[in-house]
């Protein structure tokens, strides 16, 4: 129990009750400058006891530990840094545009009009509409089957003249071939587009950009990856990739080939993978358009569904928050989402993040198969407000915890007890 020195108390006759000190005693004390206007008594022992209790409790409150590897923004390994999330809504899809497929080349399903003139009068002229069959042949009356698919219009005209002369039908016929209607390709567009459906596109204008345009563009939930798959088993026309070995199925211009179990690219007769993955950001930056789609192809746009963000601790509205799909989120943004901090002394923040899953790891803990390894990044809120490097980027699924510390505990308890440091408690000035 603290007591005044007897020499001091004797001057004001307070020997009988040294635990209570009046205004007169405070005014007479040579080490205390107390406000004379105060009319109440303060029990020095009680104040000291309360102060010690608060100090002890604050120390205990600050002793809570969070297990796991700890880093700061300065020593955080690169493989644990949250990746930059590209915004597909800002991608210039027009850079995917390709030159219209050569409409001068005939193909299966095309409808052409063939005119054969054997003389000068109209009676000597024959017109016939012909649809090129799936085997690539056209069935011409009186002439028979003629292969037309894959030929340019001029070459197809010459082939028909040759057949007419070879069969003795005409001596020197003049043949004219006009493209009336190109085959319509049926393309399925699915995933994160505004109107997923099956669309018909003219084969000469059937590329990735046309398919996305038919579906009215990307949905706000769209990611940057697009999968193109030819269900008919025929190759997909795409730009030539940069020479070099493929790594992880991705070539230098943003394409990803389907790999077999041995890690080799799965190729068809034409030497092109039946399924490719296109990164819209890389493809548009490099201007690598030319993804011509065949009849029966499927286009699937990746849909992002990021895990929510959790904000805990000394914040106004702790809870779970939706992670933005197309925007970057940092530590100060998370605190703002939770309504700000509840303690003026709050500064220590833990960002708890799951470690990336190693796809090559085959060992699973039999006792705890659902175990997820996490690590901790310690951030100073004051530094995050001043330094962009300290205000680290967050990843989906992160937990942001504004931590209780001895200082925050002490300040909060002092505030709740109604103490006014400037007036209610005498400050000793030594």
Can you give the pTM of this predicted structure?
0.58
Domain with CATH 3.30.1950.10 in the chain: 111-181
Binning pLDDT at 50, 70 and 90, where does residue 120 land?
Answer: low
Cβ–Cβ < 8 Å for 157, 176: yes
* pLDDT tens digits for range 278-309: 888 888 877 666 688 888 899 999 988 888 99
Cβ–Cβ < 8 Å for 412, 402: no
Pick 390 or 123 by higher pLDDT. Answer: 390
Contacts of the segment 125-129: beta carbons below 8 A, 24+ positions apart: 129/180
Mean pLDDT, the chain, integer: 74
The single-letter DSSP state of residue 24 is H
Q: Tokens in use for 248?
A: 């992880």
The single-letter DSSP state of residue 400 is E
Binning pLDDT at 50, 70 and 90, where does residue 207 land?
Answer: confident
pLDDT at 429 over 70: no
Beta bridge partner(s), residue 70: 376
- For the residues of 162-216, what is the DSSP string, one character each? HHHHHTTS-SS-EEEEEEEEPPEEEEEEEESBSS-EEEEEEGGG-BHHHHHHHTT
pLDDT at 60: 53
Domain with CATH 3.10.560.10 in the chain: 65-84+307-358+368-403, 184-303
- Separation CA 312–CA 348 (nearest Å): 12
**Max Cα–Cα distance, the chain, nearest Å:** 145
pLDDT at 352: 94
pLDDT at 368: 54
**Segment 72-82 mean pLDDT:** 89
pLDDT at 174 over 50: yes
Q: Of 27-41, 105-119, 399-413, 414-428, where does mean pLDDT reach its minimum?
A: 27-41
**Segment 242-267 mean pLDDT:** 39
Phi-psi region of 340 (alpha: psi -120 to 50; beta: other; left: phi over 0): left
Binning pLDDT at 50, 70 and 90, where does residue 85 land?
Answer: confident
Percentage of the chain beyond pLDDT 90 is 31
- Separation CA 349–CA 404 (nearest Å): 9
pLDDT at 181: 87
Residues 6+ apart with CB under 8 A from 220: 89, 325, 326
Cβ–Cβ < 8 Å for 235, 268: yes
Nearest to 334 by CA among 355, 346, 349: 349
Q: Which of 173-187, 221-235, 350-364 has the highest mean pLDDT?
A: 173-187
Q: Of 128-137, 141-150, 244-253, 305-314, where does mean pLDDT reach its minimum?
A: 244-253
- Separation CA 384–CA 294 (nearest Å): 52
Q: Of 294-308, 349-363, 415-429, where does mean pLDDT reach its minimum?
A: 415-429
Binning pLDDT at 50, 70 and 90, where does residue 241 land?
Answer: very low
The CATH architecture one would assign to domain 111-181 is: 2-Layer Sandwich (3.30)
pLDDT at 194 over 60: yes
Q: Per CATH, which fold does 184-303 belong to?
A: Outer membrane lipoprotein wza fold like (3.10.560)
- Separation CA 204–CA 398 (nearest Å): 47
> What's the number of CA atoms in the CB half-sphere (13 Å) around residue 194?
9
pLDDT at 221: 86
**Segment 381-388 mean pLDDT:** 92
65-84+307-358+368-403 under CATH 3.40.190.10, yes or no = no
Pick 47 or 334 by higher pLDDT. Answer: 334
pLDDT at 158 over 60: yes
């Amino acid at each position: 129990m603290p007591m005044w020195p007897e020499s001091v108390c004797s001057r004001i006759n307070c020997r009988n009750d040294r635990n209570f000190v009046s205004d007169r005693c405070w005014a007479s004390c040579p080490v205390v400058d107390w406000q004379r206007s105060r009319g109440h008594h303060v029990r020095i022992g009680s104040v000291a006891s309360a102060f010690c209790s608060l100090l002890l409790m604050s120390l205990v409150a600050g002793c809570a530990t969070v297990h796991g590897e700890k880093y700061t923004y300065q020593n955080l390994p690169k493989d644990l840094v949250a990746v930059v999330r590209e915004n597909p809504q800002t991608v210039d899809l027009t850079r995917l545009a390709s030159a219209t497929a050569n409409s001068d080349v005939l193909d299966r399903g095309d409808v052409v009009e063939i005119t054969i003139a054997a003389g000068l009068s109209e009676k000597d002229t024959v017109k016939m509409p012909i649809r090129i069959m799936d085997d690539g042949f056209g069935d011409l009356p009186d002439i028979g089957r003629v292969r037309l698919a894959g030929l340019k219009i001029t070459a197809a005209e010459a082939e028909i003249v040759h057949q007419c002369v070879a069969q003795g039908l005409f001596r020197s016929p003049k043949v004219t071939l006009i493209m009336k209607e190109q085959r319509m390709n049926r393309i399925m567009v699915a995933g994160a587009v505004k109107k997923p459906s099956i669309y018909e596109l003219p084969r000469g204008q059937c590329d990735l950009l046309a398919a996305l345009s038919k579906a009215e563009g990307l949905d706000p939930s769209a990611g940057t990856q697009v999968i193109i798959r030819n269900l008919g088993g025929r190759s997909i026309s795409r730009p030539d990739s940069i020479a070099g070995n493929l790594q992880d199925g991705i070539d230098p211009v943003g394409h990803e080939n389907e790999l077999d179990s041995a890690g080799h690219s799965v190729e068809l007769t034409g030497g092109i993978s039946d399924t490719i993955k296109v990164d819209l950001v890389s493809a548009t930056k490099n201007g690598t358009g030319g993804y011509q789609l065949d009849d029966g192809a499927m286009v699937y746009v990746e849909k992002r569904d990021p895990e929510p963000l959790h904000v805990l601790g000394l914040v106004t509205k702790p809870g779970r928050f939706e992670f933005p799909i197309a925007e970057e989120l940092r530590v100060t943004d998370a605190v703002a989402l939770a309504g700000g901090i509840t303690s003026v002394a709050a500064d220590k923040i833990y960002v708890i993040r799951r470690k990336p899953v190693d796809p090559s790891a085959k060992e699973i803990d039999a006792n705890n198969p659902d175990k997820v390894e996490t690590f901790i990044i310690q951030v100073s809120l004051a530094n995050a407000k001043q330094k962009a490097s300290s205000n680290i980027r967050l990843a989906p699924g992160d937990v942001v915890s504004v931590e209780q510390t001895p200082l925050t505990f002490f300040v909060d308890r002092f505030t709740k007890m109604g103490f006014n440091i400037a007036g209610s408690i005498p400050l000793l000035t030594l």
